[in-house]
Chain A
Amino acid sequence: MKKLILVLSTFFLGIAVNYTSASAAGHITVSINPQSIQANMGDKITYVGTITNNADMAVDNIISYISLANVTLGKEAPMDLEDWSANKAIKIDTIPPHGTYEGKWPMRLINSGGYVAYITVVNKEDITPISSAMSYLEIKRVIRLNPNNVLPVAIGEPALIGGVFMFIAFKRKKG
């Protein structure tokens, strides 16, 4: 009898855990927009993440963040978004039942190549984080040789000060 109770308890517990996991994974969805971008280095873009609560209950205290990975052949690597001036993780206090939350991640494109961006939502009630589909980002290289007219100053000022230095040295030697 004890064995039967134990087997049944384990069986029902297994069903309950499975049900919780399935429902948790299913009640939040996340999407990323735009789904692909082509831009130049230096451009500013904004990714919009839409997080939808499909459940009949509100979800509280969830965290959402964007990830960016370089997928250029031979340069595959996750990117440190601090360099790209993107927002850090967003904490969402609550999303009402069947409600949505729209998060924005502005980004400055600092290097060329092919990238993928995706948004992840972490809810402590769920077992697994939920990620959006990947948005493809193609950044074209831009080369600037004399921005802000830097060359005349960068070459001219050391030359001018060097000239004064030579004059002082010459005068001292002569004196």
Chain B
Amino acid sequence: MKAQYIIQKEIRESILTPKGFLWYVFTSVILSILSYFFLTNNELSLLDQSQMLYMIMNFITVLGVLMGLVLGADVFAGEIERGTLEALFLSPVTKIEIAAGKLGAAMVNWWIIFAISLPYLFIVGKGGQNLLRGILYLGILGTLLSLTFSAFSMGLSARTKSMKNSLIISFFIFLLAGSPVFLSAALRMTWFGKILDLVNPFADAINTFDSVVIDSQGFSFQIERIAIICGYTFLSLWFLRRGASRLEI
């Protein structure tokens, strides 16, 4: 329940502020431009509906992960730099409850992005195959990935106590995780690409979207990849718990 109080505080301070809410305006504008071009541009509009849906899903996932990383990096290091963590520690809330509350707020942020993206997903995927299944998988895997990367970034923030350092390291990890996007299809078929695809939670998520939306494959094909993502989620939560419990000012 104390964690719930922290979530409410974070929502008030990070989300329901003009600066915080501006992110959602930008998210919506970017998604509008993207979906309009997907549907009207000469070449893009002739892609399969499922291909368009898959590309929009990837974009939303990247956006959610990125925002989770930025919010996570600010959590402890930002409070230390602003000199507000001491006051928070004086309140009758444990460090683990503070971490859980802040992680909860990061998840609320992801769910808002997901909710904003729903109309676009319906418009782009309308008439195509696997729309509802795609949205379900995006909801679940997006939540797991946001949880993973936000928790990792928060754990890092607690350890480095420097927002700049935790942001740089988080972005580095993000680029590494997003590297499958930059690899060509041929490179991804090499042993290096295959290993990178399997051990990388981000690649596991986009390959699952591909498998579900484009190839119409069932849940049994996704179990291995989802299990790997869940593994990373538990690992990140453990990393955050350890970092938060050892945090001293």
Q: Which residues of B contact A83 (CB under 8 A)?
A: 43
Q: Output the least CB separation between B67 and chain A (Å).
A: 15
CB distance from B52 to the nearest CB of A (A): 10
Cβ of A157 under 8 Å from chain B: yes
Docked complex Cα distance between A169 and B35 (Å): 28
What is the predominant secondary structure among interface residues of chain B facing chain A?
A: helix
A41 contacts the other chain (Cβ, under 8 Å)? yes
B140 at the interface (CB under 8 A from A): no
Residues of chain A contacted by B120 (CB below 8 angstroms): 153, 157
Chain A residues near B31: list those with CB within 8 A. Answer: 157
Please report the C-alpha to C-alpha distance between residue A83 and residue B42 in the assembled complex, in whole angstroms.
12
Interface string of A146-175 (1 = CB under 8 A from B): 111111011101100110110011001000
Provide the residues of chain B in CB contact with A155, threshold 8 Å.
32
Structural contact, B46 and A158, CB atoms closer than 8 A: no
Whether the Cβ atoms of A149 and B123 lie closer than 8 Å is: yes
User: CB-CB < 8 A to A157: which residues of B?
Assistant: 28, 31-32, 116, 119-120
Q: Mark B107-121, 1 if CB is under 8 A from A, else 0.
A: 000000000100110
8 residue pairs A–B, Cβ–Cβ below 8 Å? A110-B46, A112-B42, A144-B39, A148-B123, A148-B124, A148-B127, A150-B35, A153-B123
Q: Which residues of B does A touch, CB under 8 Å?
A: 16-18, 21-22, 24-25, 28-29, 31-33, 35-36, 39-40, 42-43, 45-48, 116, 119-120, 123-124, 126-127
